[in-house]
Amino acid sequence: MTTRGRLLSVLVSGLLLTCCAPATADVLPVTADLVLWLDAGDLDGDGTAEGLAEDGQTAGVVSVWKDKSVNGNDVTDAADAARAPILDLAGSLNGLPVVDFSSDAYLSRADAMGLAGNPALTVFIVTRDNDGAVSDHRLFQIGTDDGSGSGGLVTALSNDSSWRYNNGNHVFANDKLDSTTEGLIGIWRTDAGQNYGATEFFKNSSTPAVATGTGNETNVVNMPDEATIIGGGYYTAGSLSNPTNNSNADIAELLVYSSELGADDLEAVGYYLQEKWAVNSTFVPEPSSAILLAAALIPALVRRRRGAA
């Protein structure tokens, strides 16, 4: 190949790869069926970096965490302002902002964002534990607003990696979200109408964790659309105004989809979170069809150039 031919190949390759590269980590790659999007780096959802003086925030207290999806599913401290979490702008997660749910803190809303019955669900969370306890610390719960007499009518996700439901649980082995030294990405996934033995969990990769479910795995839930709790939850006893299983964790980002995302979408959203929060995980961006096409075209361009030379 002549020098001019090699130069042409490099220029074409660079141009195609640049213009067709995957989206940056700042752009959420999957928004279809997005029900809730909470981002500690953009607490008020206005698209700009967060500051404590915005929207009445004082001394770091988070009274409202704005939903960045189009649904307006904000969570607030209305049920108990004394237990509001704290926004830490230079947080424990690689110096990036987190919402600190220590000291029994939680946020909530008085509905389950329309996720009643036995819905499809995919939940992503970026979190770091504050005490390292592998227990039923609930990071996220939806369903009934009162645990007395109806404690099974919930779906809860805990930092021991379990999916809690219908007075039972589906636990995943050796994949706990209990690190106090690094941020972790957890993903829970199920399709509509499935029993709980069919649910999946992923930690820091798109490889499903091994399930070691411990009870009532053939159950399906029929939960009411009454409550959403972030940073806490309950079973049997407890309520929207008094969660009894608090996470004691920092949360950087939470995404809830009303569908069972496919493998490519899991990879894409995982990569977005990994790059944004500098998490040591193994998600990779999907190559676009344009990049693959470019790889196929470049040898032909080179051959044509060589013939002309």
pLDDT in tens, 109-148: 999 999 999 999 999 999 999 988 878 899 999 999 988 7
pLDDT at site 272: 98
* Most confident of the following: 20-34, 91-105, 295-309: 91-105
Across the range 194-198, mean pLDDT stands at 86
Which CATH number is correct for 29-285, 3.40.50.300, 2.60.120.200, 3.40.1450.10, 2.30.110.10?
Answer: 2.60.120.200
Residues with Cβ within 8 Å of 296's Cβ and at least 6 positions away in sequence, in order, are none
Radius of gyration of the chain (CA): 22
How do 184-190 and 168-170 pair as beta strands? unpaired
Is the pTM above the cut of 0.75?
yes
- φ/ψ region of 99 (left if φ > 0, alpha if ψ in -120 to 50, else beta) reads beta
If you average pLDDT over every residue of the chain, what do you get? 83
Per-residue pLDDT reduced to its tens digit, 217-234 = 888 878 899 999 999 999
pLDDT at 214 over 90: no
Q: How far apart are CA 233 and CA 218, in angstroms?
A: 23
pLDDT at 275 over 80: yes
pLDDT at 297 over 50: no
